[in-house]
């Protein structure tokens, strides 16, 4: 998230809108965004319904055994078609903004 926020100007320039989705409540997210200084869109999927439809549920992995999302990134074009995916195999390894921006050139 931090690296996406840092690259936000470049994402804007490329015409790519980053949108984060988690099972946190809007209130939890709002407080966190304020302290972390993140400015892009964060969505709240409290019951993990959307996360389930995308088959990204990490069952009982959240606070108090809640279902949460496993980390995943999708680059989607305006028609709603997936152009690139990153399903990390290791929680600590994530896609880097420069790689995502490189893939975003496919959408030009």
CB of 48 to other proteins, least distance (A): 10
CB of 31 to other proteins, least distance (A): 8
Residue 37, C-beta contacts closer than 8 angstroms, at least 6 positions apart: 5
CB of 49 to other proteins, least distance (A): 8
Instruction: Give the C-alpha separation, 63 to 9, whole Å.
Output: 33
For the record, the structure tokens of 65 come out as 């055994």
For the record, the structure tokens of 74 come out as 């999708």
């Amino acid at each position: 998230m931090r690296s996406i926020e840092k690259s936000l100007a470049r994402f804007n320039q490329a015409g790519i809108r980053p949108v984060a989705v988690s099972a946190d409540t809007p209130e939890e997210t709002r407080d966190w965004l304020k302290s972390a200084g993140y400015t892009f869109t964060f969505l709240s999927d409290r019951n993990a319904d959307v996360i389930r439809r995308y088959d990204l549920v990490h069952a009982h992995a959240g606070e108090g055994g809640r279902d949460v999302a496993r980390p995943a990134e999708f680059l989607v074009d305006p028609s709603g078609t997936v152009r690139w995916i990153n399903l990390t195999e290791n929680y600590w390894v994530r896609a880097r903004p420069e790689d995502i921006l490189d893939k975003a050139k496919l959408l030009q």
